[in-house]
Amino acid sequence: MGRAMRPIVDTISERPRALTTRFVDFWLLGGASLLVWFLMFATQGFRAAWAIDQHFKNLTVTTASLSLLVNYPHFLVSYKLAYGRGRAFITTHWWQLLVVPALMIATFAFAYAYYDLPVSQLSPVSMLSRDLTGFGNNVRVFSGPRLGDLLFALTFNVMIFTVGWHYTKQVFGCMMVYAYFDRYKFSPRQRTITKYALLSIWWLNFAQGNQAGAQNNFSQFKYYSFDLPDILVPVATCIVAMGALLVAYEVFWKNYKERGETPSVNMVVPFLALYVWWLPITRQYEFYFLLTPFFHSLQYLAFVYKMEDTRLRGLEHPEIRGTILAFAIVLAGWLAFEFVPNEIDTVLGTFNAWQMFFFFTAAMLFINIHHYFIDNVLWRFKDPEIQKYLLA
């Protein structure tokens, strides 16, 4: 979820206690991911055994299929939640809902039209590359060699930047919503400490992922990350450690000491899950790259379920409407991520022309980046829809 959710004064005596049920919420918000991570982390040393290694190797195919039911819907339903709010909501948030997608479409259209143009012929890029020569491998990001390569490489780096922000803000939103459910009080200072402790995990991952200008791959496309100063990794590691200690002491311990309040396990589990998902010390390769996005999406869909379940209760035949909506979102995800872009790539022969699946890659980048901007305006505590369907 996007912008941080801030609790408001409760004006009614009754408030919801869960998104689905307390038990199911525990597993959706992080409990299932912690269990799976523990099993994978504990057994990875025994992968010489076929009975164990085959399950690790099967995860690529398994998660690809699960994406149809979890990952893709989590992206596509955000479009329904945002653009289904009507013209007034769209025009109020014109930057996120109109300008950002228009700029991205223009970028990809320009990349398609001038993909083969050598970046060496573009004097601003050549000057920037020359100026970056003394700053490690940062020049690789702008090396191209074609304009299309350059534009896609820059867009990949934008996606990586926004994804980290999005993950941490979603976990913060999970905690604040459950604090509201449980009447667990956060002072403004405690909310700030918690938010920045979570954000520091993103800073550490961004710093570590941008060392030495390493080459990364998506499908058949290769791009380079930035080469940030190596000192940022140990500095960010210290900040992460201090953030965790501050939350433990300044939030959980002080609330217990002063008011006898303890956080519910459902409020704490997404907080712990993010550390397991993203900390380098807890990283298990297959879990990090294949299952972390899955569990992030599962976490998101718990909130969507609450919104749509509450919305449909006031309508006739809610079970039929809900089933149709679920199938429509799954179908839309399959079309947007897989079928439509791949068919266009096949018809236009983009791989034969440029050795990359242009529209398949562009669709993934567009939806991932725009999803962050959509969520930035959707999930706000004072929003009337959030008040009506999530918190009522």
330-358 residue pLDDT tens: 999 999 999 999 999 999 999 999 999 99
The per-residue pLDDT for 9 is 43
Q: How far is CA 26 from CA 298, 302, 306, in A?
A: 12, 10, 14
pLDDT digits (tens, 9 = 90+) for 12-24: 446 789 999 999 9
Helix axes 340-348 and 358-378, enclosed angle (nearest 10) = 150
| Between residues 4 and 369, the one the model is more confident about | 369
pLDDT digits (tens, 9 = 90+) for 250-289: 999 999 999 999 999 999 999 999 999 999 999 999 999 9
Question: By C-alpha distance, which of 224, 90, 84, 209 is closest to 144?
Answer: 224
pTM (2 d.p.): 0.91
Query: What residue ranges do the domains of the chain occupy?
Result: 22-390
Q: Which residues contact 379 (CB under 8 A, 6 or more apart)?
A: 1, 2, 3, 5, 173, 303, 386
Cα–Cα distance between 229 and 226 in angstroms, integer?
Answer: 10
The per-residue pLDDT for 137 is 63
Question: By C-alpha distance, which of 153, 192, 142 is closest to 172?
Answer: 192
CB distance 390 to 12 below 8 Å: no
SS3 at position 387 = helix
Q: How confident is the model at residue 135 (pLDDT cuts 50, 70, 90)?
A: low
Would you say residue 138 has pLDDT above 80? no
CB distance 378 to 169 below 8 Å: no
How large a percentage of the chain has pLDDT more than 90? 78
The per-residue pLDDT for 10 is 45
Retrieve residue 325's tokens: 């909506």
pLDDT digits (tens, 9 = 90+) for 90-122: 999 999 999 999 999 999 999 999 999 998 777
Would you say residue 37 has pLDDT above 90? yes
How large a percentage of the chain has pLDDT more than 70? 93
pLDDT digits (tens, 9 = 90+) for 194-205: 999 999 999 999
Chain position carrying tokens 């057994």: 43
Retrieve residue 12's tokens: 């009614």
